[in-house]
């Protein structure tokens, strides 16, 4: 009788242990850090003017990730060949996404949209719709648009100050939107540190 009871107890213990292992394995796969190439973890574009592009895709004509040429091997570089700039990122951003959209400028007197242009946001690879992280937005202005903005011919958004210049080449000015981190999402401190190192270089 005792040996039958021991066998039954051992059988149930083994079955319970196997069930626990199966549950743990299933839960860990659900909470595995997001894979940047997994389309389930990428939020779809919110407007028709935006697209989510993985810069590691060879077909992308606008951008390409490259290894850093600097002594700091713990960085990667996003290169945008269309507008002629590059942006240095920490190695932890490997697998980043590029989100494209547009900024709009409003006439000071009539509040009509009188200017617009592209905006490229660099998105952290761990960004998900459930846990969004701070993007790095780069507004792109023609030289003429930037001059008009400085003369306050038009304004962008409700912020009392305008975008801040990150760099320029012969054709474009690259700028950071005012109050880009107003909601203080996860990772905003890291983005501030990245920006302190003047990561944008013109080609």
Looking at 35-39, 186-190, 191-195, 199-203, which range is the least confident one?
35-39
Model pTM above 0.85: no
* Structural domain that includes position 190: 49-202
Residue at 37 is within a domain = no
| pLDDT tens per residue, range 124-171 | 999 999 999 999 999 999 999 999 999 999 999 877 789 999 999 999
| 43 within a domain of the structure (yes/no) | no
Same domain flag for 54 and 18:
no
| Whether residues 192 and 93 fall in one domain | yes
138 with 186, same domain? yes
**Number of structural domains in the chain:** 2
By DSSP bridging, strand 154-155 and strand 97-107 are: antiparallel
Mean model confidence pLDDT for the chain: 75
């Amino acid at each position: 009788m005792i040996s039958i009871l021991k066998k039954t107890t051992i059988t149930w213990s083994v079955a319970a242990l196997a069930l626990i292992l199966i549950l743990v394995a299933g839960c860990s796969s659900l909470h595995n850090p997001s894979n940047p190439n997994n389309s389930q973890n990428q939020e779809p574009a919110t407007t028709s003017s935006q697209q989510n592009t993985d810069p590691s895709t060879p077909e992308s004509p606008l951008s390409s990730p490259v290894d850093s040429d600097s002594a700091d091997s713990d960085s990667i570089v996003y290169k945008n060949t269309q507008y002629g700039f590059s942006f240095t990122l920490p190695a932890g951003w490997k697998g980043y996404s590029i989100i494209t959209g547009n900024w709009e400028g409003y006439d000071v007197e009539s509040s009509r949209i009188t200017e617009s242009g592209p905006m490229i946001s660099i998105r952290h690879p761990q960004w998900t719709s459930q846990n969004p992280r701070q993007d790095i937005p780069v507004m792109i202005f023609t030289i003429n648009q930037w001059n008009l903005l400085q003369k306050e011919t038009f304004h962008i958004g409700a912020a009392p100050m305008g975008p801040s210049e990150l760099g320029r080449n012969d054709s474009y000015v690259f700028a950071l939107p005012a109050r880009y981190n107003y909601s203080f999402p996860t990772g905003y401190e890291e983005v501030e540190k990245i920006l302190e190192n003047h990561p944008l270089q013109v080609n």
